Structure 1
Amino acid sequence: MANFQDLISFCQGYDKAYNPTNENLKIPNLQLLYQEANDKLDSFKTQKTAFDNVTNDRKNAFANLKTLSTRIINAISVSGADALAIADAKAINKKIQGASSRKPPGAETPTPSENPGNSISTSQQSYDSLIDHFTSLIELLNQNELYKPNEEDLKITALQTKLTELKNTNTNLINAATAKSNAMIARNETLYNKVTGLVQISREVKQYVKSVFGANSPQYDQVSSLEFKVRRK
């Protein structure tokens, strides 16, 4: 963007000598393109910041889920519930802990990676699965009359509130990922469209300056060193 601003400034300095027939290369349209690109970049930065914030919110919301689930298992195990109910609860907890497959002794349980942005990604499926397993665990507890812990955060009402928090942060991140992705698409279209994008237009401006003043001219030397590269991420 800084280079494009310099490019416009150089072209303005050529005064009447800079007079392309291509409307896209005229100074007023270059200025409009610069402003549009700035707006799209600002929008992407805003959405990126929002995405980062809700990513942290979700990470924090899920941070204690495994520990909480283990405490629930300990609580139901001493509640007087029948062995089958306890076994079912432990089976759900294993899924929450990520222990459904065999691992070498001492191996750490993997946690969902922080690369959402795609609703069908492995990361997103991991969070969706955690919510699903925790929902099943709460339902099991809700159907067991003997599960009545004194600890406030282990009571079913508190667990339901926790579940709502998990669902909300997960949904917020999905929505933020979509907004970020759309902002990136809009930004890339303005910067990298093969016909009207800022990168392409800048190359054509440089080529026009070269045609007017010559390859060895000081004017072309001014603009030829300005780099414009495609970076889509």
Structure 2
Amino acid sequence: MALNFQQQSSALMRRALLIGLIAASIIMVTAYSREGSTGPLHTLQSAVSGAVSPLRIVGGSVEAATSTVGDTMENITADQNTLTGLREYNSQLEQQYAQMEEYKQEAQRLQKLLDLKDNYQIDGTGARVIGRSSEAWSQTVIINKGTNEGISTGQTVIGTSGVVGQVVSASGSTATVRLLTDPQSGAAAMVQSSRAEGILRGSLIGLLYLEDLDA
């Protein structure tokens, strides 16, 4: 019986405390709404808000730091996942750059040929080297133009710097050109300073020799 009495007393005290807290809350809310901004309750609220502001700042800083670390980790993970793709893309860019550089040099060579053709009124056909001789004693190249474009044996072949060789054979779509550096080549030449004439010949080592000059 004593135990039951104590339990009932404890329950009554909790209820009384709850009712007291509710009544106090109602009274404080009513007083807060009726007093001005300089009232004691407003003053107490401002003091409490100022006291907990540093804790809010620290919490915000920790949250911002955590967010930054998370973004950094995401970026690192993304870089690792896309590293292979970036390498492939970089390789494609390098190939495109090399191709564009080749086009640029080819355009410059073609422009020089056009200038040479205009300056000396040369009537000819443009061609491109598509092969070279593998024989050490033969300095010949194959071009991608032949008899179908009017190429024939004996014609002179010029480059951006002048004469480079002579057509020695031709088929429908290709022709073989013996370069001046070939040991079997020979072309008339003149020394500009003395006007002396001779024969320009190639050699096995790729050098040009001017022969048959007057003493």
Q: TM-score range by the shorter chain?
A: under 0.3
Q: Which structure carries more strand by proportion?
A: 2
Indicate the structure (1 or 2) with the bigger Cα radius of gyration: 2
Q: Which structure carries more helix by proportion?
A: 1
Give me the TM-score of the superposition, normalised by structure 1.
0.21
Give me the TM-score of the superposition, normalised by structure 2.
0.22
